Structure 1
Amino acid sequence: MMRPFRTEYTGDILIVDDIPENLQLLFEILREEGHEVRRVLDGQQALQAIAVDPPDLILLDIKMPILDGYEVCTQLKANKETAHIPVIFLSALNDVLDKAKAFSAGGVDYINKPFDIYEVIVRVNNQLKLLDTTRNLKKRNQELEILNKDLEAFNYMVSHDLRRPLTRILGFCELLVDDDMTPDEQGEALEIIGNAGQEMDQMISDLMRLANVSYRDLELEFKTVNLSAIATSITEQLQVQDPDRHVQLEIQPKLTVSGDRRLLKIAFENLLGNAWKYSSVKELAKIEFFQLEDGNFCIRDNGVGFSAKQQDNIFAPFTRLHHQRDFSGTGIGLAIVQRIIESHKGKIWCKGIIDEGASFFFTLNSQQGSSR
């Protein structure tokens, strides 16, 4: 059949109609346009199907036994998990009051029976276009919120963190002009200036890393990733860099996910690096990586930990839980980890107890499982 236009948007569509012939006709029309189409014969089946796997759009007949279309739509709109799904009513009822009732129940459009093929295609395409626009706006708003938080963090860093080493540099540069300084004092001043410069350089480098790991710019290359192998490689490298440390390492083998290996490696470098650093005060340090029964992953240490109050802001950029003189760092690592995990449609959270250690839990939407 010749089409006078091309469908711009495709989606997952659920058709609800108690007349099989109508279901078949709509199914064929929409499948030909490239949509993923599901179909059920009554309202109860529709609610069950939507609860298991919510569609992008619902085409809903009004006159059905047991639960009519009005009641189905009313229940969907009363549930916060399904209220956002657009519903196009299908009906042979052409009375103005019937249409008004359909819109009052929460419908976004109304198609009269018998169907006109092109009308169905146009109205479905319009709703999917609106849905796509809404999703893009929501995504942009989330990005703006993140950018605003980053800007606040950057302002804090410039006004507080960068000023501290800059003050040391300026102060000791003035002292070097003093002819009364001995060579040893001059050497000490130059060393302080150098250390302050390195601290500033690290802050700027970390800020650039955070900017590079932004939601919009991330281009993920999904492959099967062995997280256990990554964790083992990183901890071996940490041991080489710090050969005097005695750390009990327990890494569950063969834990794999589908994800971007480069980004996940960066996340693990930060998580395991923190566990290594903050457990350094323990005579017998212990670091674990394992998968819980519920499928979530965990990296745990027995280090200095943190309080419940500190936990609230732990993933905010430039947040440091401990004084710089005790543990070096810029407070950027966990913010980067959070962005990487969320770019994989996952979540990360934590739990800590002061002087007993910290546990970081995360889940990845694409994770495959483990050796269990």
Structure 2
Amino acid sequence: MPLNQINYHKKNILVVDDTPDNLRLLSAMLTTQGFEVRKALNGKMALTACQMVLPDVILLDINMPDMDGYQVCQKLKADEKTCEVPVIFISALDDVVDKVKAFGVGGVDYIAKPFHGAEVVSRIENQINLRLLQVKLQEKNFLLQQALDNLKASQVQQIQNEKMVALGQLVAGLAHEINNPISFIYGNLQYAGQYVKDLVNLIEAYQQEYPKATPKIQQIAKDIDLNFIIKDLQNLIGAMYRGSDRIQEIVLALQRFSRHDEAEMKQVNIHEDIENTLVMLQHRLRETADRPAIIIVKDYGNLPLVTCYASELNQVFMHLLNNAIDAIEEGVGSREWGMGNLSLEEGVRSGEWGMGNLSFNPYSLLPTPQIRIHTEVTELNMVKIAIADNGPGIEESLRSRLFDPFFTTKPVGKGSGLGLSISYQIIVQKHQGNITCTSSVGQGAEFVIEIPIKQQEH
């Protein structure tokens, strides 16, 4: 359907030609067809006119002084504002080489002089209709991308919800199953300790009353090293008490970490939640055959109680700390981490390695693996939690996609690509905060969380 039969607003056509007669002819012809026409006698005027009002189509002569049509088109295509405007070349040149060059610099059509009015109008209408279709296609692509992003976000949220429910049930079950036997052990340790003490007193009384025991008793005492047993029994009882206390601490940390019975917002101590998360990760921080123990450097500020979804915030701490440990272990495997381009001697002298504030072990060929946790209250009344590692760092090309659902930098089977996207949803969408990553190859990575101290009413 011709454009002049469609109920659209007048299309703006910019005609660029250094010959005034051509401008008048084209202007009169297009105006009668219902177009709004603007005129430019040279390339500089054309570029200025495009910046003032963006045309729908440009008719561009090739042979012009100072700046020919090819140069004008190149400048138009290099500008983000004008790069999508269709350019139709009009020229007396009808050589194949000229046409190829016109299309090469970004032209969409080519009309040879002398031109026919109907041909010019038809070609303009075709380009306008193509442009309209292109815009509609871009809009549909945008809507499809939005729908895809929403679907991914819904999937991530569903997975997160299912994980939280499963975690709460698992922790509640574990705590119940562990609490029963450990309470039994802990309660009986008191009696066992007293029984042992009574038996030791009895043996010592026998030693005093019967200093000359029979040869058989003397031999047994020698074989079992009775004196050592008597001295070490209290140490054993003390170790069992400490072990039982530790198990109870871990169970309590599990319960606090999951907070399965605290789904609503409440005021929490951020440092306690970080400590509970670290308890959960103790097994990953210990020394292994491939690396020394990972040191946790705590740089805690003076934080008030923070209103938040505690269990979900704990999930973020878990994701970030796990990622930091993964990065350190990846760096140990590649041996390309921590000190960047510094030599061992330079690293020891300057102490400038990893994230800059972490210490260095001069007795090792590699820097001591460390994770630094920094907290503070910002000037905007936000709580800031920064978790930095001295691993190999993250390439710039990957950092922009870190929080995309299902994107991961880890090998196949090592990561789901959900940890950081879930963290983003929890921090940005549920807590009106922000989460960022700063990193460079060889210099470790730092993730920074900021959330308001008090949440607005939903």
Indicate the TM-score class for this superposition, using the shorter chain for normalisation.
Answer: 0.3 to 0.5
TM-score of the superposed pair, with normalisation by structure 2: 0.38
Between Structure 1 and Structure 2, the one with more strand by share is 1
